[in-house]
Every structure is written in C-alpha cells, then in structure tokens.
Amino acid sequence: MKQSQSLVTKLFAPRTLLVSALLVGAALAVPRFAHAAALEQFKSFVSSTQAARGEFTQQLVKVDSGNTKVSNKSTGTFTFARPGKFIWTYQKPYEQLLQADGDKLYIYDKDLNQVTIKKLGDALGSSPAAILFGSNDLEKNFTLKEAGSKNGLEWLEATPKAKDTTFDHIGIGLRNGVPEAMELRDSFGQVSLLTFTKFEKNPPMPANQFKFVVPKGADVFQ
C-alpha cells in the first residue's frame, strides 16, 4: 500500500501526542493576531472561516536515539467548506483523492482505479480532519487548551473526548489567525507532520465544487 494512503487514514483516525518538529510555511497575515494566544486564534479562525483552500506538505517524523529523521514526504492541495465538505488531493509522490460532499467520504486511488465510499459521520468523528473540516462545535468532541509557543507558532492541544480513539492529542500550530501545522502521533510512535501554505480564506466556489463523480470503469467498495 502506498505510504500516502496510510497517512490519509490518520486524518480520519480519531489519537496523538504533541511532538517537536521543524515547521515551515507562511499563511495570510492578519496583524491583530500576531501575539494572540492559540485558543483565541483558533476560535476566531473557526468562526470566521466557512471555506478555504491551499497547499499542504505531509511527512513522517521519527526520533531515534536523539536523531530526527524525516521521510515519506507527500504534497498536494486542499479545499474545504464547513461543515464536512472537502477535497484533499495528493499530487506527489502518488496521486490520490479524498473528497466529501457533507454526507459521504470518497477515497479514490488513481493507480488502482478504485473508489472506497464511507459514511462521513463515521469517518470524521473525533478525528484530526474534523478540526479542519468539521462543524463549528468542536468543543463538543474535543477538549482544547493552550500548548505554548514553538518555532514561531502558537500551539493548541486538542484532546478527543471519546475514549476509543486512535489519537490521544492533536497539536495545532497557528500564526496570524491561521493554522500552519498539525502534529499527529499514532499508537506505533510514528509522527505525521502536516504543514499548510498559500492558505486562502473564504474563496468563491461553485455550487457543485464537492460533488464526486465516480471515474469510468472504477471499482467501487462501500
């Protein structure tokens, strides 16, 4: 299975610990948030951002005997509209698409010409993806608290309230009122680092932006 595909599932797996990692990226500048705490920035971002698009980089970060190793780099683009509509596209090293229309989640592997369809509510839940793409009522599923400053970002820790989750905590790094990074650690000790760039808030989108059309000849699994 492609590494990007295994990382995809982590976005929708409801457990994480904050970890140190090198952070990159520059988002839209909103001067009044320059020194605001992470929780204030995040709540303002959620309430004021109904839709967004940008680019992402996703990597695995492993610390072994004090040495940090970065591997399995993937890059792509994202578009979302709250609640529960998004397009998450892996462009390199393998093409793969995650798309949700507010009701169902479609995972399309271009190389295999295969589509997997899931109920969005089951897939989103108390997962990292819910933080970016879910409803505004995040505190229903997460406990949010400040996690200090690191590498020029203000960090927020989101802990899922559900006990049967894959991640323990989710780290969200913000600057100027926009999330620039997320840190995820799975139960095997692997850390997924997401960094966001070219973040555009509330861009105009066509009404059918998130409608998924199954590619011709694709195998469909539900």
Pick the more confident residue, 120 or 153.
153
Q: For the segment 111-152, what is each residue's pLDDT rounded down to a tens digit?
A: 999 999 998 876 666 667 777 877 767 788 788 899 999 989
Average pLDDT of 201-221? 95
Over the stretch 86-111, which tens digit does the pLDDT of each residue have? 999 999 888 999 999 999 999 999 99
pLDDT digits (tens, 9 = 90+) for 171-190: 999 999 999 999 887 766 67
Summarize the confidence of residues 71-81 as an average pLDDT. Answer: 91
State mean pLDDT over 32-58. 84
What does the pLDDT read at residue 164?
65
pLDDT value, residue 20:
29
Give the least confident one: 22-36, 42-56, 66-80, 90-104. 22-36
Nearest to 133 by CA among 165, 88, 175: 88
pLDDT at residue 123 in the model: 63
Mean pLDDT of the chain: 79
Burial class (CB in 10 A: 0-12, 13-18, 19+), 57: middle
Percent of the chain at pLDDT exceeding 90: 46
Domains within the chain, CATH numbers bracketed: 3-20+31-221 (2.50.20.10)
- What is the pLDDT at residue 80? 94
Token pair 């100027």 is found at 176
| pLDDT at site 128 | 72
Reported as a single tens digit per residue, the pLDDT across 58-73 is 998 877 777 777 888 8
Structural contact between residues 195 and 180, judged by C-beta atoms closer than 8 angstroms: yes
User: What gap in Å lies between CA 5 and CA 89, rounded to an integer?
Assistant: 11
pLDDT value of position 49: 92
Residue 166 confidence (pLDDT) above 80: no
Q: pLDDT category, 31, cuts 50, 70, 90?
A: very low
Q: Categorize the per-residue pLDDT at 16 as very low, low, confident or very high, splitting at 50, 70 and 90.
A: very low
Residue 21 has pLDDT above 60, yes or no: no
Q: Quick one: CA dihedral 205, 180, 183, 6, positive or negative?
A: positive
For residue 109, give the H/E element and its range. strand 104-109
Q: Are 169 and 162 spatial neighbours (Cβ–Cβ below 8 Å)?
A: no
